Amino acid sequence: MGRIALEGMEFFAFHGFYDEEQKIGNKYGIDLYIYTDLHAAAATDDLTQTVNYEVVYKLVLEEMLNPARLLEHLGHRIIDRVYSRFPLIRAVKVNVYKFNPPLGGICRQAKVTIKEKR
C-alpha cells in the first residue's frame, strides 16, 4: 500500500459556527492523505491506475464552496467525496484548519484531523 498526499491546500471560504464567520469568510487549509495500492500505477506508468490528484483537488474545492458550521463536518464531507469518486481507496486522512480563528486571542490555526478506513 502507498500514500498520496496533497498538503497545504489553501482556500478562502465561508465556514464557521457563527453567522458572522459565514458572512465575512476566512482562510482555510486542507491536508489530505489517501492510502491505496500503488503497484499497478508504478508498474504501468498509467494515470488511470492510480488516484488522480488533480481530480481530488477539484473535489476538495467543491466541498470548500459549500459552507459548513463545523470543521469536523467539512472534513467528513471531503472524505465521503473522495471515497465516492475512488472506491478502491483503503483509507483517507484529512486535516482541516482555520487560520486565525475568532477565539479572542492569538491562535495561528484551529485544526481537526479525521481518519477513516474501509
Active site residue 98: yes
pLDDT in tens, 79-93: 999 999 999 999 999
- Provide the residue type at 113 as one letter: T
Region 1-9: mean pLDDT is 96
Spot the catalytic one: 23, 27, 58, 98: 98
- 71's CB contacts (< 8 A; 6+ apart) are 15, 96, 97, 98, 110, 111, 112
> How many CA within 13 A on the CB side of residue 106?
0
pLDDT in tens, 15-31: 999 999 999 999 999 99
Architecture of the domain delimited by 2-117: 2-Layer Sandwich (3.30)
pLDDT in tens, 11-67: 999 999 999 999 999 999 999 999 999 999 999 999 999 999 999 999 999 999 999
- Residue indicated by cell numbers 474501509: 118
- Average pLDDT of the chain is 96
